[in-house]
């Protein structure tokens, strides 16, 4: 038995370090600047780079832009265009904070004179414990950050929690297979739209429920104030949306006294910072508690995203 235990721990350790070494060598999220195998692309989770070059290479004269985290992926540009008549680009990317929004808006304004920006701000965006994604600092958007923001970058440690997951292992093999096949597949279509997906089945799954230690990040509040001021000075119509969550997710937040208070602070910040705010983090989501409207508890489908846009412009 003792011999078995020794072999078990030995081979388990070798397997762990072998697989983790492969993840580090591929660096699928491009967090470490490592590329041992000389891969041509790391298409996994490179939304900032993908959207940046989609916009750079486009010949369309965009006048409206949709910003936010992956929770804003399903706002379809055709739906906003039908309401506003403005040619639209969806610039939502994964795991955003206000620092991303500053860089993205600076990039947009370097190329276009936008008339409308729809910005979806999530509850987690203002949590001081929610780190800005380090991918921002290795993406082309880094050149559109203010100097203060650039100085906040700390290189990702080689023992990253993001890489000690089954998702990271899966994405490592995806990157390798994509490069072997020579077929670069991105998650985005023309105008930054997300690839179509079928509705799920069963109940809406509660995911990404964390941030029980939510602390208001005052620096990020200042960034949002700066965005509001610059948009107003430039004559840009800035429409801000609080990111919706499913009713089960919302009730879990409300059941925790600290998180419920944090939710109120988050809503107050949006209301006091922006002139045109629309709150969808409300009990009304109870009417939409199916996978037809929510892919999971933090990611609305295109149908619910269209509903939000319709509600905003109907009120207008």
196 versus 258: the higher-pLDDT residue is 258
**DSSP codes, 13-74:** HHHHHHHHHHHHHH-TT-SS---TT--S---TT-HHHHHHHHHHH--S---EEEE-SGGGTT
What is the value of pTM for the model shown?
A: 0.78
Residue 149 has pLDDT above 60, yes or no: no
More confident site: 46 or 97: 97
The answer to whether residue 148 scores a pLDDT higher than 50 is: no
pLDDT tops 60 at residue 141? yes
Q: Which CATH number fits domain 44-158+185-315: 3.40.50.300, 3.40.50.10130, 3.40.50.1110, 3.30.360.10?
A: 3.40.50.1110
Check: CB of residue 66 under 8 Å from CB of residue 108: no
Alpha-carbon distance of 255 to 241, in angstroms, equals 23
Average pLDDT over residues 26-38: 73
Quick one: pLDDT at residue 65?
Answer: 98
Which are the contacts of 60, defined by CB distance < 8 A and separation ≥ 6?
Answer: 87, 89, 191
d(CA 252, CA 206): 9
Question: Is the pLDDT at 154 greater than 60, yes or no?
Answer: no
For position 196, what pLDDT does the model report?
83
- What mean pLDDT comes out for the span 217-233? 98
Top pLDDT among 204 and 18 is at: 204
> Does the pLDDT at position 99 exceed 90?
yes
Helix, strand, coil content of the chain in percent (nearest 5): 50, 10, 40
Domain ranges of the chain: 44-158+185-315
Give 160-182 pLDDT, tens digit per residue.
556 777 667 777 777 787 777 66
């Amino acid at each position: 038995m003792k011999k078995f235990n020794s072999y078990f721990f030995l081979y388990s350790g070798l397997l762990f370090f072998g697989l983790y070494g492969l993840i580090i060598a591929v660096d699928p999220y491009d967090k470490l600047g490592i590329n041992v195998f000389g891969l041509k692309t790391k298409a996994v989770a490179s939304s900032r780079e993908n959207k940046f070059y989609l916009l750079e290479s486009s010949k369309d004269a965009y006048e409206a832009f949709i910003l936010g985290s992956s929770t804003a992926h399903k706002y379809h540009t055709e739906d906003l265009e039908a309401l506003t008549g403005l040619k639209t680009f969806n610039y939502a990317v994964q795991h955003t904070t206000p620092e991303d929004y500053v860089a993205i808006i600076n990039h947009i304004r370097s190329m276009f004179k936008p008339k409308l920006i729809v910005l979806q701000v999530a509850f987690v965006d203002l949590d001081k414990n929610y780190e800005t994604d380090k991918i921002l600092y290795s993406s082309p958007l880094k050149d559109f950050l203010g100097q203060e923001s650039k100085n906040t970058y700390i290189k990702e440690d080689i023992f990253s929690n993001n890489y000690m997951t089954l998702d990271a292992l899966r994405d490592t093999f995806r990157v390798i297979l994509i490069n072997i096949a020579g077929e670069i597949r991105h998650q985005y279509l023309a105008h930054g739209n997300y690839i179509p997906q079928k509705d799920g089945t069963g109940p809406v799954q509660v995911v990404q429920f964390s941030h029980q230690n939510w602390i208001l990040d005052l620096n990020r509040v200042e960034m949002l104030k700066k965005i509001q001021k610059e948009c107003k000075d430039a004559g840009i119509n800035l429409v801000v949306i609080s990111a919706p969550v499913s009713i089960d997710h919302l009730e879990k937040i409300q059941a925790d006294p600290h998180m419920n208070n944090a939710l109120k602070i988050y809503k107050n910040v949006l209301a006091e910072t922006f002139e045109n705010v629309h709150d969808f983090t409300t009990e009304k989501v109870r009417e939409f508690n199916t996978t037809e409207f929510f892919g999971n508890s933090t990611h609305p489908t295109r149908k619910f995203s269209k509903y939000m846009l319709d509600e905003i412009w109907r009120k207008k």
